[in-house]
Amino acid sequence: MNKEGNQYTFLFSIALVVVVSVLLTVVSTGLQPRQNANVENEKRQNILRSVKIEVSREASGEMFDQYITRRLVVNARGEEIPGDAFAIDPGKEMKKAPGDRRLPLFIARVNGETKYILPVRGTGLWGPLWGYISLNEDKNTIFGAVFDHKGETPGLGAEITREEFRSRFDGKTLFEGDRLVAVRVEKGGKASGPHEVDAISGGTITSKGVEAMLLNTLSCYEPFLKKQP
């Protein structure tokens, strides 16, 4: 067959694409369980990290069951509804109309104190941001914060995952009087007061994304947070 003819070119292309797609399917399905386990364990790790418990990814399953005493799902009015909080993807819920959202949250018992852990979801410079905010029993003071991202620039926006940035949120409060203001992320080292933290140099858009993420997601939980236990 003529190597430069149309027939050969088509046959070659088809054969190549079939071989490559079969190969990729095998690799992808073969590695899927491992990848999913990594993602789920990382989620447990992040939830625990928000209440300042550092565990390895391998040990996260066991430690998670030990510290997280309750998982619950609430609706936009702050009422508990049935559902598995761990399986709910907050990113998908945020796309729904506010009334239809199922809002997951976790209650942890750490050193004899109750902590509320709320997932947050938002957008950075290149893609989604997410994280967990843990609140003290007053449902107002931040006990710890954890952030993660899909594709922020390493060394710049990606620094939001670092302890040094996350710890800036400790002790900040969400409510100003009766109003939920969350925490603003301010540029240029001028942050002060209980509702402001310093942004990251070179990562302004990501920092502002964190700010918007906190306000948007936490305001969904406002009825729950205002409810007295």
Judged by the rule CB under 8 A, the positions of this chain that interact with other proteins are 3-4, 8-9, 12-13, 16-17, 20, 23-24, 27-28, 31, 34-35, 38, 42, 57, 126, 149-156, 158, 201-202
Minimum CB separation of residue 4 from other proteins in Å reads 6
Rounded to the nearest whole angstrom, what is the least distance from the CB of residue 96 to other proteins in the complex? 27
Q: For residues 156 and 180, which CB has a smaller minimum distance to other proteins in the complex? A: 156
CB of 13 to other proteins, least distance (A): 6
Please identify, using beta-carbon distances, which residue of 127 and 193 lies nearer to other proteins.
127
Cβ distance to other proteins smaller for residue 42 or 222: 42
Least distance to other proteins, CB of residue 214, Å:
22
Query: Smallest distance, Å, CB 174 to other proteins?
Result: 28
Decide whether 23 or 87 has the Cβ nearer to other proteins.
Answer: 23
Q: Mind giving me the DSSP string for the chain?
A: --TTSHHHHHHHHHHHHHHHHHHHHHHHHHHHHHHHHHHHHHHHHHHHHHTT----TTTHHHHHHHHEEEEEEE-TTS-EESS-TTT--HHHHHHS-GGG--EEEEEEEETTEEEEEEEEEEE-SSSEEEEEEEE-TTSSBEEEEEEEESSPPTTTGGGGGSHHHHGGGTT-BSEETTEE---EEESTT---STTEEE--TT-HHHHHHHHHHHHHHHHHTHHHHHS--
Q: Which is nearer to other proteins, 204 or 219 (CB)?
A: 204
